Structure 1
Amino acid sequence: MIDKQDKDNQQPLMVTIRCTVFNHERYLRECLDGFVMQKTNFRFEAIVHDDASTDGSAAIIKEYAEKYPDIIKPIYETENQYSKHDGSLGRIMREHTHGKYVAFCEGDDYWTDPLKLQKQVDALENNSECKICFGITETMTADGKPTGSFFPSSFEHIGNTITLEDFCREQFTHGQWFGHTSTFMYSKSLDDIRNQLLKTVFKDFPYGDITIVLTGFLYGKGYFIKDTMSRYRLNSGGFNTMMKKNTDKAIAVENKLILGMKAFDEYTEFKYHKHLQNRILRSECIKEYLSGGNNALVYLKPKYWKFAKMLGAKSLVLMILQTVMPGPYYFLKKKLKGH
């Protein structure tokens, strides 16, 4: 195993890690430590892209790049690329990706398994029909405390080899977030294909991670390793945090998701129509909930019962209590926090 890679190692580059960073100073060391601790029998690199951060992120990246020049390959922007919404960020990352496989981890998440890359490369090399690989992710609070929840939340019924039908059932019908981006690894050969699909079939998808997975499944199977490999930070100021604070944007995202699901349904000749329709209905439910001022009573409508079940009895009761009796709800919430 190669613990700290030799600068003069002439082995073929097997994995490129894509790490996007924006104002992640508070969390970034954990993320970069997760890269440099990897033990492999192959070469890998981490493209760490700082998108014009205004905190100390760039200085931390520079420190790690100087200490681990064979692994950390920095890109420093003077202008934020993500905010352009013109594909420039994706283009830059693709141009700097040279490995046979691509792995992902954003700057506020981190890997916990030092054998993550080795396990995934072995899985993909030994299962040629698989084009994408996942593991298990544990969630944590913004300050790094484990929440005790995982993605996927249940996996005993899931085998190691996953088909597009399996993914659509788990993700779109059962509402289970099948895998988190921080555990994805997929064949770089799919990069150009996904880029073209982003201009057509996937142009309305608001979540890039779904398009990564769907591209992998369109051209092969997935391999699921039942090991916890990473931690995902909740409410750390990213896209999903922003969505919770802006109702109009959240509704706009659901509208885009509906369009994306319909386009993908047509592209796959309606083979997964049942699952995609379930996801469209869930988006309609979320839109109705948000547009009604977070009115949880919408979940009592018969057509939305399946989504109420996904929330769980405790969450649903609390949401309804907040809707119909906000005074007692906030009193109870305050009392519970006091203990």
Structure 2
Amino acid sequence: MNSYLIVSICMITYGHEKFIKQAIEGVLMQECDFEIELILANDCSPDKTDSIITEILKSHPKASKIKYFRHENNIGMMPNFIFAMKQCLGTYIALCEGDDYWTDSLKLQKQVDFLENNSNYVVCYHDCSVVDQFNNLKVPSFLGNSKKDYNEKDLKKGAWLPTLTRCFRNVIKEYPVFFDRVNCGDLFLTSFLGDYGKAKYLDFNGASYREHAGGAWSGVDESFKTKKLISDYIYLCKFYKNREIEVYKFYKNSLNKSFLKDFKADLRLRNIVYNFNEFKFYYCTFLLSTIIKKIKTIF
């Protein structure tokens, strides 16, 4: 047993009474030659999530590996995530939200073995399946044809690494002041990791991502997702503008594309007045730049 090496599993939960037991068991079944700790942060769930966790703490033979935190008041998904991340003491961190679960008992061992022997990589990830709320298989391979390695620049540009499949070095000690207000924390975390190394795809399927009506991301429609991404791209543009011009331009282009997509959708829904008020500065900037480009093509 490698007692000095700890992997912290960061698990946030809210309203996951139907799924939390399976999520916890997927962590506690891990077979590895190092210590693990499960940082479990419950954002004041209104259902039976707390009582289910409490019962596991009383009865599970590996309950000592769980560090459980229950907020007395709901603080929000991102503040809860930041809180949980700050509790992680491990050399490495793995993520699994309370409605997803791991299926491979050697998942962490495989990932840690790779990271221990490849210091130029900051994160590794693998494939996962997609299931519904009843564990019925929907998609056998979530990644499909997107199984590849990424360099540092790819990570900074938000390479897609499914949350529950990644294991990364515990190198991010401080977060930007705006981080608690973002919508897609994974996007920012991936981007920040790009400062520390590359990403490696490990060829195995070791988890199940759950799509259900109450999912923080899978349970919302495309229009809502686009609006949330617009907000996040604005933060990323501001963050990288005076840091890395190439990455800044990438997110500015992503922002423009998302604005156009959202603009067209809102025109169809006749919701343009509300959305213009929400993002009017960026709409004007986008429309002005589009007009200038058109003029340049004429003259």
User: Structures share a fold, TM > 0.5?
Assistant: yes
**CA distance in 2 between partners of 1:108 and 1:293 (Å):** 34
**Are residues 1:272 and 2:260 paired?**
no
Q: Which runs of at least 4 in structure 1 moved beyond 6 Å after TM superposition?
A: none
**CA distance in 1 between partners of 2:252 and 2:228 (Å):** 17
TM-score in terms of structure 1 length: 0.70
Change over 3 Å in CA distance of 1:167–1:100 after alignment to 2: closer
Residue identity matched to 1:18: C
Q: Which residue number in structure 1 is paired with residue 196 of structure 2?
A: 219
Change over 3 Å in CA distance of 1:264–1:96 after alignment to 2: closer
Q: Give matches, 1:112-151, under 5 Å.
A: 112-148=103-139, 150-151=141-142
**CA distance in 1 between partners of 2:47 and 2:185 (Å):** 25
Q: Give matches, 1:69-84, under 5 Å.
A: 69-82=63-76
Q: Which residue number in structure 2 is paired with residue 34 of structure 1?
A: 26
**CA distance in 2 between partners of 1:82 and 1:170 (Å):** 23
The partner residue of 2:206 within 229, 232, 240 is 229
Post-superposition Cα deviations, 1:268-321, rounded to whole Å, max 9, x if no partner, equal: 4222356434422331233124313469xxxxxxxxxxxxxxxxxxxxxxxxxx
**How far is 1:60 from its partner?**
1.4
Q: Which residue number in structure 1 is paired with residue 171 of structure 2?
A: 189
**How far is 1:228 from its partner?**
1.2
Given that 1:17 and 1:46 are in contact with CA atoms closer than 8 Å, whether structure 2 keeps it comes out as: yes
Residue identity matched to 1:232: Y
Given that 1:64 and 1:72 are in contact with CA atoms closer than 8 Å, whether structure 2 keeps it comes out as: no
Q: Which residue number in structure 2 is paired with residue 255 of structure 1?
A: 230
Residue identity matched to 2:13: V
**CA distance in 2 between partners of 1:81 and 1:273 (Å):** 31
Change over 3 Å in CA distance of 1:293–1:146 after alignment to 2: farther
Given that 1:132 and 1:185 are in contact with CA atoms closer than 8 Å, whether structure 2 keeps it comes out as: yes
Q: Which residue number in structure 2 is paired with residue 308 of structure 1?
A: none
**Are residues 1:291 and 2:273 paired?**
no
**CA distance in 2 between partners of 1:266 and 1:110 (Å):** 37
Post-superposition Cα deviations, 1:204-238, rounded to whole Å, max 9, x if no partner, equal: 74210011111111221122212112111113413
More divergent stretch after superposition (263-272 vs 41-50): 263-272
Residue identity matched to 1:189: V
Q: Which residue number in structure 2 is paired with residue 312 of structure 1?
A: none
**CA distance in 2 between partners of 1:268 and 1:151 (Å):** 33
**How far is 1:254 from its partner?**
3.5
Q: Which residue number in structure 2 is paired with residue 175 of structure 1?
A: none
**How far is 1:259 from its partner?**
0.8
Post-superposition Cα deviations, 1:15-64, rounded to whole Å, max 9, x if no partner, equal: 11111111101111211110111010001011111211121111211122
**How far is 1:130 from its partner?**
1.2
**CA distance in 2 between partners of 1:152 and 1:283 (Å):** 22
Gaps of 5+ in 1: 3-9, 172-177, 296-339
Q: Give matches, 1:91-170, under 5 Å.
A: 91-148=82-139, 150-155=141-146, 158-159=148-149, 162-167=150-155
TM-score in terms of structure 2 length: 0.79
Post-superposition Cα deviations, 1:227-254, rounded to whole Å, max 9, x if no partner, equal: 1121111134132256429x5x656423
More divergent stretch after superposition (58-67 vs 74-83): 74-83
Equivalences, count: 268
Residue identity matched to 1:150: S
Residue identity matched to 1:217: G
Change over 3 Å in CA distance of 1:103–1:163 after alignment to 2: same
**CA distance in 2 between partners of 1:294 and 1:258 (Å):** 23
Residue identity matched to 2:267: G
Given that 1:105 and 1:182 are in contact with CA atoms closer than 8 Å, whether structure 2 keeps it comes out as: yes
**CA distance in 1 between partners of 2:85 and 2:247 (Å):** 30
Q: Which residue number in structure 2 is paired with residue 207 of structure 1?
A: 184
**CA distance in 1 between partners of 2:32 and 2:17 (Å):** 27
**How far is 1:81 from its partner?**
1.9
Residue identity matched to 2:102: W
Give aligned-pair identity as a percent: 24
**How far is 1:101 from its partner?**
0.9
**CA distance in 1 between partners of 2:152 and 2:161 (Å):** 13
Residue identity matched to 1:61: I
Residue identity matched to 2:167: M
Residue identity matched to 1:219: Y
SS in 2 for 1:223: strand
Residue identity matched to 1:12: Y
**CA distance in 2 between partners of 1:56 and 1:65 (Å):** 14
Gaps of 5+ in 2: 271-299
